[in-house]
Chains A and B, each alone.
Chain A
């Protein structure tokens, strides 16, 4: 059966064949034919955003919370350039996205036509791959290829740029099963010999630690299950990067908490003192390693990663295993079980004693207050009042993000959406909308700071239009808190441009958008305010006025190793030298 159709119809047909139910986008001249096709069908819901950056972050939230690729549709020129931040964010955090952009007609390309931009040129370094489709006959298979590339191997964003004349022209539609097998086929199975060597090391290890990252989440829920089996079977302590929270449950008995710059003392000290480090789908990011030369000096390091370029990029490892975390975990468990489920129990017991010693420092302790809401307290109350609910959390970027990672607990993967690698302020609000689209009945909360939240606040309109009851939990310190913290610690307390002047009245803002809001400033009213937010049937902005000068601890200052953490204000005097200021 020959299926000749226009390029625009092909786009919708291909999306449908790829199982897409939701597209986040914004129309414009160069995508009008595709919008015309969207108008004439009911299978795919289009979420009209207020700014293209919002569309990409929504698609990220959708993808991160479902494991399916997020889909974005934008017009040429400014539509595409506005998508760049989101694309870069998705690239650094390995989020599968398919972004379709309109382009001026092929005969206008290169003439500086209206709303023309070299979209494939601009997005080449911030996508996993991209295509400019010049021929309608190539369009459907390029879209199918795009989905394959975005979701295989290390996931990432792809962009398909479609000139307007290609959308109008007709050609034969090719379904996903009819296209030739893709040449891009990353390795999934790890080298069984190295896996066996790793198991041998695990049997003897005296001070092992498992360090997990976003790769476990990207590998699918099966990988999280296997991780739990391995951790609970061996009794090894497990820590995670920001991106990997939820892969091992925070309520699990072997959980050390997050590691890294604002990670937990016990997690970082265990990383520093271990003799066997097993990195599962993390990438030794500079937020994790601190000073590379002093990173976990006495350990044998194994690294499981599906991207060969992640291995030996920052930290030289002894056992490199290129493969999908889920597959490798399966093989590890198989080998470990077949060899008799051995571990060095006596040494492990001592290791745990040492870890408990570090844990007794209670590094997340903070000075409470009866008169002003401490941001940590606000998050502890949010955690307590939402416990037991299937809860999805997104965040913006800054102090509130780190506090959320420290004080909220995740027992399932895909429940925590945050901008890790790129650190994109303005991510959380649109991401919460994307999550809510994918999970209409779930509780979705964006933990935000006042400054970050303003960066994409226009998307409240999208939430209201689509009746998405996203909860905006703004820890309002009228500051760019993390910037202020660094200026206090590293720049002689010169607070250059790090306060939020002329903030809007968030309650009136909520009303203006057609949703509801409340403000809370007294700790005694906090629980009631959170409950009001949770109970409200619709999008809600809760403006939590918190302590303005609270610093986020514990903290490894830039350029310092793990064992030189600052636990609180008392540690900061003279702890940070000017050399650290050149690092970020």
Chain B
């Protein structure tokens, strides 16, 4: 009996009604979690991921509304569609969590990450590193005769690509902020 021909797995709290809930393909999703800026709130969010065995690929957090005591946590996570739905529902029931947005499915969004890359080298390698940095529009924020620190903002993929190119040119240290993301438009 399936008189109403209901879509399997259709859920009212999901923006993804037509996804196959039984799919075993892992997807990457960027979640924006707006939370009350109270002590321990980040521990609650991280503890949820650790305790229930979910992945965190990237995580950023900062206060975004001082008077309203709101912080924004941006999490990039991976999982099957069912796991992603469960992560969102679990986040939503944390008491100081006000909103959970899945930027990956809620329409177009922009994602940016900042990276600092320390590259050490002499001679040709040093020149090549500077040349590639220019192509990538990276800024030199520190320089010695034997090293540069480049600063670059871009998508995580762009930072990955830059790091890969710098590897043979003497990349010795790397710091990345993790992804910050916002939906496009209003």
Nearest-Cβ distance from residue A583 to partner chain B, whole angstroms: 17
CB distance A322 to B93 under 8 Å?
no
CB distance B3 to A320 under 8 Å?
no
Which of A120, A276, A307, A320 is in CB contact (< 8 Å) with B11? Answer: A320
Whether a CB of chain B sits under 8 angstroms from the CB of A313 is yes
A125-B51, A200-B4, A308-B89 known; A316 vs B13 contact (CB < 8 Å) = no
Docked pose: A322 CA to B12 CA in angstroms = 8
Whether a CB of chain A sits under 8 angstroms from the CB of B95 is yes
Docked pose: A191 CA to B3 CA in angstroms = 20
Q: Mark B67-100, 1 if CB is under 8 A from A, else 0.
A: 0000000000000001001100110111110100
Whether a CB of chain A sits under 8 angstroms from the CB of B10 is yes
Nearest-Cβ distance from residue A298 to partner chain B, whole angstroms: 8
Docked pose: A318 CA to B11 CA in angstroms = 8
Docked pose: A320 CA to B44 CA in angstroms = 27
Whether a CB of chain A sits under 8 angstroms from the CB of B156 is no
CB distance A316 to B9 under 8 Å?
yes
Q: Mark A287-322, 1 if CB is under 8 A from B, else 0.
A: 000000000000010000001110111001011101
Whether a CB of chain A sits under 8 angstroms from the CB of B154 is no
A276-B1, A308-B89 known; A129 vs B95 contact (CB < 8 Å) = yes
Whether a CB of chain A sits under 8 angstroms from the CB of B39 is yes
Nearest-Cβ distance from residue B1 to partner chain A, whole angstroms: 5
Interface size grouping (class) on chain B: 20 to 34
Which of A121, A194, A309, A312 is in CB contact (< 8 Å) with B43? Answer: A121
Which of A149, A200, A204, A312 is in CB contact (< 8 Å) with B82? Answer: A312
Whether a CB of chain B sits under 8 angstroms from the CB of A164 is no
CB distance B86 to A191 under 8 Å?
no
Q: Mark B34-72, 1 if CB is under 8 A from A, else 0.
A: 001001100110010001000000000000000000000
Q: Mark A190-234, 1 if CB is under 8 A from B, else 0.
A: 010010010011001110000000000000000000000000000
Residue of chain B at shortest CB distance from A274: B1
Among A149, A191, A300, A318, find the residue whose CB has the most chain B CB atoms closer than 10 A: A318
CB contacts (< 8 Å) of A183 on chain B: these are 36, 98
Nearest-Cβ distance from residue B25 to partner chain A, whole angstroms: 16
B-side binding surface: helix, strand, loop or mixed? loop
CB distance B89 to A309 under 8 Å?
yes
Q: Mark A96-140, 1 if CB is under 8 A from B, else 0.
A: 000000000000000000000000110011001100100000000
CB contacts (< 8 Å) of B157 on chain A: these are none
Docked pose: A183 CA to B94 CA in angstroms = 12
Whether a CB of chain B sits under 8 angstroms from the CB of A275 is yes
Nearest-Cβ distance from residue A497 to partner chain B, whole angstroms: 29
CB distance A309 to B6 under 8 Å?
no
CB contacts (< 8 Å) of A308 on chain B: these are 13, 89, 92-93
Whether a CB of chain A sits under 8 angstroms from the CB of B144 is no
CB contacts (< 8 Å) of A125 on chain B: these are 47, 51
Residue of chain A at shortest CB distance from B50: A125
Docked pose: A129 CA to B47 CA in angstroms = 13
CB distance B6 to A124 under 8 Å?
no
CB distance B89 to A124 under 8 Å?
no
CB distance A313 to B1 under 8 Å?
no
CB contacts (< 8 Å) of A311 on chain B: these are 11, 13, 89
CB distance B8 to A318 under 8 Å?
yes
Docked pose: A168 CA to B82 CA in angstroms = 50
Whether a CB of chain A sits under 8 angstroms from the CB of B170 is no
A308-B92, A309-B92 known; A194 vs B12 contact (CB < 8 Å) = yes
CB distance A300 to B44 under 8 Å?
no
Among B1, B10, B44, B47, find the residue whose CB has the most chain A CB atoms closer than 10 A: B1
Which of B2, B43, B51, B86 is in CB contact (< 8 Å) with A313? Answer: B86
CB contacts (< 8 Å) of A206 on chain B: these are 1
CB contacts (< 8 Å) of B4 on chain A: these are 197, 200-201
CB distance B3 to A200 under 8 Å?
yes
CB distance B89 to A316 under 8 Å?
no
A125-B51, A204-B3 known; A312 vs B9 contact (CB < 8 Å) = yes
Docked pose: A312 CA to B84 CA in angstroms = 11
CB contacts (< 8 Å) of B82 on chain A: these are 312, 316
A124-B43, A309-B89, A309-B93 known; A201 vs B3 contact (CB < 8 Å) = yes
28 A–B contact pairs at CB < 8 A?
A120-B40, A121-B40, A124-B40, A125-B51, A129-B94, A132-B40, A149-B95, A153-B93, A201-B1, A201-B3, A201-B4, A204-B1, A276-B1, A308-B13, A308-B93, A309-B86, A309-B93, A311-B11, A312-B9, A312-B11, A312-B85, A312-B86, A312-B89, A313-B86, A316-B22, A316-B82, A318-B10, A320-B10
Given contacts A125-B51, A318-B6, A318-B10, 10 further A-B contacts (CB under 8 A): A121-B43, A129-B94, A206-B1, A307-B93, A308-B13, A309-B93, A311-B11, A312-B9, A312-B11, A316-B22
A-B residue pairs, 5 tightest by C-beta:
A309-B89, A129-B95, A275-B1, A318-B6, A308-B89
